[in-house]
A and B are shown apart, each in its own frame.
Chain A
Amino acid sequence: MKKTLLASAFVIIAGGGAAFWLLSAPTSLEAGALGALEEPSAERGEHVFWAGGCASCHARPGADGDARLELAGGVELKSDFGTFVAPNISPHPKDGIGDWSEIDFANAMLYGVSPQGEHYYPAFPYPSYARMTAQDVSDLFAFLKTLPEVEGQAGEHQLSFPFTMRRGVGLWKLAFMRDEPVIPLAPAASEAEKRGRYLVEGPGHCGECHTPRNFAGGQLYDQWLAGAVSAEGEGIVPNITSGEGGIDSWSAGDIAYYLESGFTPEFDSVGGAMVSVQKNMAHLSKEDREAIAAYLKSVPARANGYPSSR
């Protein structure tokens, strides 16, 4: 009897292990799978670069001006799971991504999988980037290749068990990644709202900080953009819907002006991690900032996604 129990336990554990192994397997694209795209354009790619906020994590900590184009890495994201360190993504062949193929890059951006076939941690916001078009990814890769090569690797992530097991990220992806649009827009939605949805939900990855998460770090899509306790510990990230505590009083023009200048309608200034994001947004076209504003005015109103401090 005891033997049977042991055997059953073994079968269950082995079965569980096999299921874990199958379910957590990295998915990626084969060479040539990006499909028929236009010739990559570094010029368009620069626009994607600013929309995607790459410099905010991959430039050196505190970098400003042209130094934001030197993607040495080194910014640390201190989370409940440990400290993630953004890597060097300059075109340096050894320390950066200089020897990557376009497919390697697309697998990283759209599937969160490295050229070695391992999962990346979602501190790299590929759950949002997965909503990007293959053309934008291809153009972005072309632009990154024009940037300066920077020697030297950033430090390793400092994580504790079980988060050290990358394979587990496969299950996280199954549970929490959603590459279709978060907000179903009405068929009559304007072109600006559609473009804004793409920018916010895809490259802009706004939801990564502005949407609350569950205990496992999965986004609570029913509280999309409702604001959240900062993942890095101090303070909150504001509610940017029109719900209670949000930005209902801001006009679309106010939102676009904020993204351009860094000033709120009350002429308070942008602060915290958003300072770097706003610098990126200032590089976008006026139309794209207006599109983001149009989308934010159309997302469902939600009350604050973080507990009141009062």
Chain B
Amino acid sequence: MKKIALAVTALCLSISGVAAADDPIAVRKAIMQANAASAGLAGAMMKGELEYNPAIAKAAILTLSASAKSFGEFFPEGSGDGDTTAAPAIWDDAEGFQAALDKYISDTAAAVEASGKDGPADLAAFQAAIGPVFGNCKSCHENFRVQNN
């Protein structure tokens, strides 16, 4: 039950982000928190801590898809200063960052496609769909995030 609540929270977080569009750092943090909640649900099912449920699986994938489509909008010039872990490379290598965003968008779109109307049929199908999406977390954080504390 707690995990289902988490799934709902994930969706709400991704929606509430839009309301705070005048504070891009806050919005992108909210989007990332929604991503983490979705990854948490996916991870719990993969580890067997939570029984596989196609509807939850689909909710996780759709949250990541909403994030992929919107995330890149919240990095205006100058938003690298402040309480953020955004790396200067986001602006210094704008082309590379855009390429990373495009990959994230296309990998999540493929996962949405694979999950169909009722969500991936079983855990193996879910893993196959979401695995490539998770690869984006690492590859983007490798070059475009700085750990500050």
Contact of A310 among B145, B147, B149 (CB under 8 A): B149
Contact bitstring A247-291, B, C-beta under 8 A = 1, else 0: 000000000010001110011111111011010000000000000
CA distance A68 to B110 in the complex (A): 27
Contact bitstring B123-149, A, C-beta under 8 A = 1, else 0: 000000000001001110110011111
Q: How far is the CB of A274 from chain B (nearest CB, A)?
A: 8
Cross-chain contact B149 with A272 (CB below 8 angstroms): no
Contact of A267 among B40, B139, B146, B149 (CB under 8 A): B40
Q: Which of A85-93, A116-124, A132-140, A232-240 contacts its partner?
A: A232-240
Cross-chain contact B149 with A309 (CB below 8 angstroms): yes
Chain B residues near A261 (CB-CB < 8 A): 43
A214 contacts B by Cβ under 8 Å: no
Q: Size class of B's contact patch?
A: 20 to 34
CA distance A230 to B22 in the complex (A): 32
Contact of B39 among A267, A278, A304 (CB under 8 A): A267
**Which residues of A77-113 have CB atoms within 8 Å of chain B's CB atoms?**
none
A237, closest chain B residue (CB): B147
A243 contacts B by Cβ under 8 Å: no
Contact of A263 among B39, B85, B87 (CB under 8 A): B39
Q: How far is the CB of B31 from chain A (nearest CB, A)?
A: 13
**Which residues of B31-73 have CB atoms within 8 Å of chain A's CB atoms?**
36-37, 39-40, 43, 47
A308 contacts B by Cβ under 8 Å: yes
Cross-chain contact B43 with A267 (CB below 8 angstroms): yes
Contact of A235 among B39, B43, B147 (CB under 8 A): B147
Tell me what chain A mostly uses at the interface: helix, strand, loop, or mixed.
loop
Of the candidates A238, A257, A267, A278, the one having the most CB atoms from chain B within 10 angstroms of its own CB is: A267
Cross-chain contact A309 with B148 (CB below 8 angstroms): yes
CA distance A261 to B47 in the complex (A): 11
Cross-chain contact A267 with B37 (CB below 8 angstroms): yes
Chain A residues near B148 (CB-CB < 8 A): 235-236, 309
CA distance A269 to B42 in the complex (A): 13
CA distance A271 to B147 in the complex (A): 8
Residues of A within 8 A of B (CB-CB), count: 25
In the complex with contacts A263-B39, A268-B36, A308-B142 CB distance below 8 A: no
CA distance A235 to B47 in the complex (A): 32
In the complex with contacts A262-B137, A278-B138, A272-B40 CB distance below 8 A: no
CA distance A234 to B87 in the complex (A): 9
Chain A residues near B137 (CB-CB < 8 A): 262-263, 269
Cross-chain contact B37 with A236 (CB below 8 angstroms): no
A233, closest chain B residue (CB): B146
Q: How far is the CB of A220 from chain B (nearest CB, A)?
A: 19
CA distance A34 to B107 in the complex (A): 50
A245 contacts B by Cβ under 8 Å: yes
Q: How far is the CB of B51 from chain A (nearest CB, A)?
A: 18
Cross-chain contact A269 with B141 (CB below 8 angstroms): yes
Chain A residues near B40 (CB-CB < 8 A): 266-267
Chain B residues near A236 (CB-CB < 8 A): 147-149
| 15 further interface pairs, Cβ-Cβ under 8 Å (given A267-B43, A269-B138) | A234-B87, A235-B146, A236-B147, A237-B147, A262-B138, A267-B36, A267-B40, A268-B36, A269-B137, A269-B141, A270-B138, A304-B149, A308-B149, A309-B149, A310-B149
User: Could you jot down 5 A-B contacts, CB within 8 Å?
Assistant: A263-B39, A269-B138, A271-B138, A271-B141, A272-B146
Across the A-B interface, give the 7 residue pairs with the lowest CB-CB distance, nearest first: A271-B141, A269-B137, A235-B146, A275-B142, A267-B40, A267-B39, A267-B36
